[in-house]
Structures are given as C-alpha cells and as structure tokens.
C-alpha cells in the first residue's frame, strides 16, 4: 500500500429519476440517517483516506452540510456542486483536489452496502495498477441485442463482470481524461481511464454492494445498519 493518503469523492448529485421518489434517493432516510451518510461513514473509517469531497446539487449543499454536521460524519473536507452528467460531477470534484494526492477514490452514494475490506482491496489495486474498480462476475448469461431485440452476440460469461464503485484512479490521468473526452459520455470512471489508454483491472468485491436504483431496490434498505 502507498504511504500517501487517498482523497475520496462521494457522488450525491444525481436526480434519481429511475427511483421516482419524492425525496432524491440519496436523501431517503433509513433509521433517521439519509442514505448518502452510510457510505460516507464507511469511507471515513478507512485510514488510507484522509479527506472526502462530497458532491451534490447546488440547491442541496446547505442541507448536506447540515446533515454531516448533525451526524458528526468525519473527514468531509468540502461539499461541491455537481454537474449534469455523473462525469461532470466527478470533474467538479477532482478539479478541486490538490496535486499532492496521486490517487482518488470515487464512490456512488447510491451504494450504501460497500464493505471496508473491499474498499481496502480496491485501493491496493488502484495504487498498484493506476486504475481498479470493484466488480463481480455476472451470474446471468449476457447477450448483445439490436434495436429490434434480435441478438447480435452472446459473449462468454466467464469473461464478463458487473462493475461497481468504488473505483480508484490516478488523479492527473482522470483530470486530463475528463477534459479531453468531454464530448463522450462515460458510465464509470474506469471508462475514462481506458479512453486514456490505461489498462484497468477489476478488484473482485461483493454481490451485496448493489446500487439503489429503482423502487424495487428499496426493500434492501431495511438491511442497512
């Protein structure tokens, strides 16, 4: 592991449109604690992480600041405004991180079940390989289809993984990549690194690290502690 500390970015600037809830999904309260606080707390317990930048919509910044103060969540260094796309939110955060930090860990606050042990593993690989992300092997067969629903290919499942966060990336490369490939839309941070020619590597994590996305997923929240 590196001697240098890692800066974490916790994303909570989405609209949660697929959840269709009154309150944005990252602010749904479970045991009187808004969802985003669960992963914030786990990140704050990792010794290798010494600061966390929280990203949220401008109109939610005051609320988020108040929540982290009230619940005494540690290591939140700043709360910065998000952007239209996930990658714009990432960009707003990484652009505030000083060059001193070599690596940044990026996490979706919509994944509240992330485990400390998996975070430590992805940090170790991210530092060694310049980019690593948590993921798991797919259990279903995956097919590519065309617009009409006809199958175009069935890739070998043994070589398919489902990608999660956290993702650990080299700070200078992600900054450059987000700038250089601004017009391309990415669904994860490793994708930006791949566009920059970096070989990215999976860190096998846990199936429990799900992303709360649709109303169906709300049933899992009762397991949060």
Binding stretches for ligand CTP (CB under 6 A): 11-18, 26, 55, 82-86, 89, 108-110, 211, 213
Residue with tokens 């070589």: 159
Smallest Cα–Cα separation from 161: which of 112, 224, 209?
209
User: For 24, what's the count of Cα atoms within 13 Å in the CB-facing half-sphere?
Assistant: 17
Burial of 217 (0-12, 13-18, 19+ CB in 10 A): middle
For residue 209, the minimal CB distance to ligand CTP (Å) is: 13
Q: Which C-beta is closer to ligand CTP: that of 154 or that of 185?
A: 185
Cα separation, 55 vs 65, whole angstroms: 11
Residue 26 interacts, among ligand CTP, Mg ion, none and using kind-specific CB cut-offs from 5 to 8 Å, with ligand CTP
Site string for Mg ion, 13-52 (x = CB under 5 A): -x--------------------------------------
For residue 158, the minimal CB distance to ligand CTP (Å) is: 27
For residue 18, the minimal CB distance to ligand CTP (Å) is: 3
The region, left, alpha or beta by phi > 0 then psi within -120 to 50, assigned to residue 210 is: beta
Question: Contact residues for Mg ion (CB under 5 A)?
Answer: 14
């Amino acid at each position: 592991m590196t001697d240098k500390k890692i800066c974490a970015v916790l994303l909570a600037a989405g609209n949660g449109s697929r959840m269709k809830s009154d309150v944005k999904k990252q602010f749904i309260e479970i045991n009187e604690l808004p969802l985003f606080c669960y992963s914030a707390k786990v990140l704050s317990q990792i010794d290798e992480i010494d600061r966390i930048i929280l990203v949220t919509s401008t109109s939610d910044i005051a609320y988020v600041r108040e929540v982290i103060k009230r619940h005494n969540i540690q290591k939140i260094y700043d709360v910065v405004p998000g952007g239209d796309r996930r990658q714009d939110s990432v960009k707003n955060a990484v652009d505030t991180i000083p060059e001193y930090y070599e690596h940044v860990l990026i996490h979706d606050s919509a994944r509240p079940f992330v485990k400390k042990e998996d975070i430590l593993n992805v940090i170790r690989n991210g530092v060694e390989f310049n980019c690593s992300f948590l993921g798991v092997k797919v259990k279903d067969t995956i097919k590519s289809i065309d617009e009409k629903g006809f199958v175009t290919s069935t890739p070998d499942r043994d070589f398919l993984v489902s990608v999660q966060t956290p993702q650990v990336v080299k700070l200078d490369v992600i900054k450059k990549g987000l700038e250089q490939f601004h017009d391309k839309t990415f669904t994860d941070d490793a994708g930006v690194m791949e566009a920059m020619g970096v070989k990215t590597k999976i860190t096998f994590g846990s199936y429990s690290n799900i992303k709360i996305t649709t109303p169906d997923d709300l049933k899992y929240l009762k397991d949060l502690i």
